Amino acid sequence: MSNPPGHTHSTETQRFKRQDVLSEKCGATNFTAAEEARRVAVISRDLCSAAERCVSYEEFKDLKKSNIVHIDVRERWEIDRFGKIPESINIPLSELAEALQMSPADFEEQYRQKMPAKSDHMVFSCLAGVRSKQALGFAMALGFSRVQHYAGGFEEWAKREPPEQKRR
């Protein structure tokens, strides 16, 4: 089933999201294993609907060897509690739009990193791809041209690589 141009979510994804909301509100989780697998596959497909903007684990791992700016948009408490993907900058999604418009000096003071240029290659990540896709939209709207997101997020990374823990 293909979506009309400009649509980011299929009808099927919208149905699954409604089911998720109902499940959360009612405590109902009566999906069969096959339904759950199909639901995750559909949502993942839609998170990566713009294929050139979404990177797989393997692509992300290769990109991390090059000169990319990796921004993790999870909340600080998530980083503190679960760790982070090495060499990432933590900018919570709620701060991202403002952070990307700061002066370079203010950005460096706040995040202890050099401010990314609009032409820098940036990859956003979060826990499982939802917030990183929103971050991608914010950055594109602000004129950043070489932006992608890692839809597998920290959840997928931590299954394959040891996360970096906060130094105490």
Tokens of 144: 């950043």
Which candidate in 26, 48, 54, 126 is catalytic?
126
DSSP SS3 for 148: strand
The angle that helices 153-160 and 57-64 make with each other, rounded to 10 degrees, is 80
Chain centre distance of CA 45: 14
126 is catalytic: yes
3-state secondary structure of 69: strand
- How are beta strands 54-55 and 147-150 bridged, if at all? parallel
Token digits for 46?
A: 């839609």
**Quick one: how far is CA 1 from the chain centroid?**
25
Q: What share of the chain is helix, strand, coil (3-state, %, to 5)?
A: 50, 10, 40
* Residues carrying an active site annotation: 126
